[in-house]
Amino acid sequence: MTTIDDPNALDTDGRESHDYRLSDRYLADEGRVFMTGSQALSRLPIEQLRADRANGLHTAAFASGYPGSPLGGIDGDFARAAKAEPELPFVVSPGVNEELAATAVMGTQLVGDQPDAHYDGVLGLWYGKAQGLDRSCDALRHGVFGGASRHGGAIVLVGDDPGAKSSVVPSSSDLALLDLHLPCFYPADVQDVVDLGRHAVAMSRATGLWTAMKIVAPVADGSGTVDVHTHRTDIVIPDMHIDGAPDFHVPDMKLLPPNNMEVEYDIRTTRTERAFRYIAANRLNRIVVDPGPDAWIGLAATGHTFSELRESLRRLGLVTDEQIADAGIRLYHIRLPLPFDIATTREFAQGLEELVVVEEKDPTLELFVKDALYDTRNGPHVVGKRDEQGEPLMPNHGPLYADTITPALRRRLERRLGDRLAPPPPPQRERTLIPLSVERAPYFCSGCPHNWGTKVPEGDVLIGGGVGCHTMAITMPEEKVGNMVGVTQMGGEGAQWTGMAPFVEREHFIQNIGDGTFFHSGQLAVQAAVAAGTNITYKLLYNGTVAMTGGQDAVGDLDVPTIASVLILSLIHI
């Protein structure tokens, strides 16, 4: 326990302070606490269960998923939150892989209507990185079709890594979430995680939809002082009555014709209409700066990109809301980009000459804005990834930070504002790195069995990589680790050789696979290689931990003799 030196001292607001405990990030009922974005997500089920009890509901919570950057340690944060408040029924059950975890969360929504249920409902939370979302789409779609229960709710926590800082490929999950009919909340910072999390639960319960929260690395790993209170978030439940529809959704997993088509109709009409009503009643998307009729340009951004947009304006000399308004700039903070809020967008665009959409990767938001304004009179020119001449404007690759937003924003503003903008910074002097006598590429930890497990026989040996620490072999000398032909997705290790083998002279392939990946999904890849009759050697690199996401024990792990027995059984029919 960490406490302050003087428990009777006053804090910076003049209020009497109290003993501060690290567990306050999960348990404090009011005041200010310090936490990371991941810890803020872990606080959500505790805060929701407390609010439910205050409202006379006897509910529980359940979390399952598979860790991955930027949500690599969230399973540990969930476990610590559950341990901090043992009187609240919060079950944390890490999944063997993401799709099985999604199915487990689906099961939580079926509890409330069971005659032997212990609780009025169960709040279900799924967590995983963007690649985990991709592989879980079928499982999640089943859950979305079945729907969320009235006193439960289902939340999908997606860790996006647009800069591929800890991923094989960069990611942006917007279009996948759109296709899955998942309303998507996109927090800008840690405070937003706390506030929007409660809305995600409330919307799921009120509409019967599963909802999602998109979390990027600066938010998940970021930290800050957050105002907390069980009843801080002002939630408004509008009139949800729709003629011909029940007053609230009852989960239905009987997904066979014709019922499955009726379920789809319910999603696209009743449940989606209720989502739009919730968005409008709670004003989730906000025009945060408005010069009124003097506005000539509008800047729209969502989630953490909005924070980067504000930093970009600061660098241009527009620091305060007053300075931004005085420049004729209207600012639109979209905290829930999906489903798209047409009404507030049209309100934002009223009277503007041009509208700039600032978003990462694909022009998803930009296309929605253009569609919303297409049939309006005197609508503004809308630009985003390209300007009105078709020239590139905002980058469509990599992360979108203030460094990359500022030059494009300057181009749009200087024509009208001229010398009012801060001058560009002087070009940085070319920096010469101090020469090093030794250059060292990333390598395995001392004592890790991967140091010797990745060695190969002499000769031109083809090696397959995969997700895990052993991926670093790509940067290591070929004479030690062989000719690495690339990295597969998690669980695809070795399947690439099935497609290569008939068309190359070499007759043998060695595939590295981590023990965590083997338990997650790699065992099926071994079975696929056996079924295809390929000449392949699997090197199962056993180090007893999921090292790249926080050092957790692999879910469903087996000792080496048991793994050997499993593999023998998979080969026994040959």
How confident is the model at residue 131, as a pLDDT? 92
30: β partners: 229
pLDDT tens, 389-419?
Answer: 999 999 999 889 999 999 999 999 998 998 8
Separation between Cα atoms, residue 166 and residue 69, nearest integer Å: 6
What token pair was written down for 225?
A: 């002082």
How confident is the model at residue 18, as a pLDDT? 59
pLDDT tens, 70-101?
Answer: 998 999 999 999 999 999 999 999 999 999 99
DSSP-based three-state secondary structure for 288 = strand
Pairing of strands 90-92, 154-160: unpaired
Q: Are 567 and 107 in contact (CB under 8 A)?
A: no
- Look at 212 and 399; give whichever has higher pLDDT: 212
Q: What is the largest CA-CA distance in the chain?
A: 79
Question: Can you say how many angstroms the Cα of residue 225 is from the centroid of all Cα atoms in its chain?
Answer: 22
Encode 75-96: b = buried (16+ Cβ within 10 Å), e = exposed. bbbbbbbbebbeebbbebebbb
| pLDDT beyond 90 at 125 | yes
Q: Are 43 and 53 in contact (CB under 8 A)?
A: no
What token pair was written down for 248?
A: 């609230």
Mean pLDDT of 496-502: 93
Separation between Cα atoms, residue 123 and residue 92, nearest integer Å: 12
279: β partners: none
| pLDDT beyond 70 at 572 | no
Separation between Cα atoms, residue 271 and residue 68, nearest integer Å: 31
- List the single range of 54-58, 123-127, 481-485, 500-504 with lowest mean pLDDT: 481-485
> In whole numbers, what is the pLDDT of the chain averaged over residues?
90
- List the single range of 38-47, 229-238, 277-286 with lowest mean pLDDT: 229-238
| pLDDT beyond 60 at 290 | yes
How confident is the model at residue 439, as a pLDDT? 67
What token pair was written down for 162?
A: 């647009």
pLDDT tens, 151-185?
Answer: 999 999 999 988 777 777 888 899 999 999 999 99
Mean pLDDT of 206-227: 94
Pairing of strands 223-229, 30-36: antiparallel
Please write down the HEC assignment for all residues of 340-409.
CCHHHHHHHHCCCCEEEEECCCCCHHHHHHHHHHCCCCCCCEEECCECCCCCECCCCCCCCCHHHHHHHH
| pLDDT beyond 80 at 307 | yes
Q: Are 172 and 397 in contact (CB under 8 A)?
A: no
DSSP-based three-state secondary structure for 320 = coil
Separation between Cα atoms, residue 153 and residue 87, nearest integer Å: 21
| pLDDT beyond 70 at 574 | no
Q: Which of 309, 289, 297, 301 is nearest to 405 (CA)?
A: 309
Read off the pLDDT band of 8 (50, 70, 90): very low
What token pair was written down for 275?
A: 């989502």
How confident is the model at residue 2, as a pLDDT? 34
- Look at 32 and 230; give whichever has higher pLDDT: 32
| pLDDT beyond 60 at 3 | no
Outline where 55-189 has alpha helix (H).
Answer: 74-84, 98-108, 130-135, 137-146, 174-179
Taking the CA atoms of the chain, what radius of gyration do you get in angstroms?
A: 26
How confident is the model at residue 142, as a pLDDT? 96
Q: Are 501 and 534 in contact (CB under 8 A)?
A: yes
CB atoms within 10 A of CB 371: 13
Place of tokens 């310090």: 34
Separation between Cα atoms, residue 487 and residue 468, nearest integer Å: 10
DSSP-based three-state secondary structure for 525 = helix
Read off the pLDDT band of 573 (50, 70, 90): low
Mean pLDDT of 286-302: 97
Read off the pLDDT band of 4 (50, 70, 90): very low
Contacts (Cβ under 8 Å, ≥6 apart) of 332: 285, 286, 287, 288, 298, 299, 300, 301, 344, 345, 348
How confident is the model at residue 244, as a pLDDT? 87
Separation between Cα atoms, residue 108 and residue 65, nearest integer Å: 14
Q: Are 101 and 131 in contact (CB under 8 A)?
A: no
Q: What are phi and psi of 368, to 5 degrees?
A: -65, -40
Place of tokens 């540990």: 76
Separation between Cα atoms, residue 25 and residue 1, nearest integer Å: 13
DSSP structure class, residue 432: -
pLDDT-above-70 percentage for the chain: 96
pTM: 0.90
| pLDDT beyond 50 at 9 | no
CA within 13 Å, CB half, 185: 29
pLDDT tens, 546-562?
Answer: 777 777 788 888 889 99
DSSP structure class, residue 271: I
How confident is the model at residue 429, as a pLDDT? 80
Separation between Cα atoms, residue 473 and residue 451, nearest integer Å: 10
Please write down the HEC assignment for all residues of 226-251.
EEEECCCCCCCCCCCCCCCCCCCCCC
Q: Are 194 and 160 in contact (CB under 8 A)?
A: no
pLDDT tens, 136-146?
Answer: 999 999 999 99
How confident is the model at residue 498, as a pLDDT? 93
Read off the pLDDT band of 308 (50, 70, 90): very high
pLDDT tens, 432-468?
Answer: 777 766 667 777 888 888 887 888 888 778 888 888 8
Q: How many contiguous H segments (helices) and E segments (strands) does the chain have?
A: 22, 17
Contacts (Cβ under 8 Å, ≥6 apart) of 171: 129, 130, 131, 160, 161, 162, 164
Q: Are 470 and 454 in contact (CB under 8 A)?
A: yes
Encode 227-239: b = buried (16+ Cβ within 10 Å), e = exposed. ebebeebeeeeee
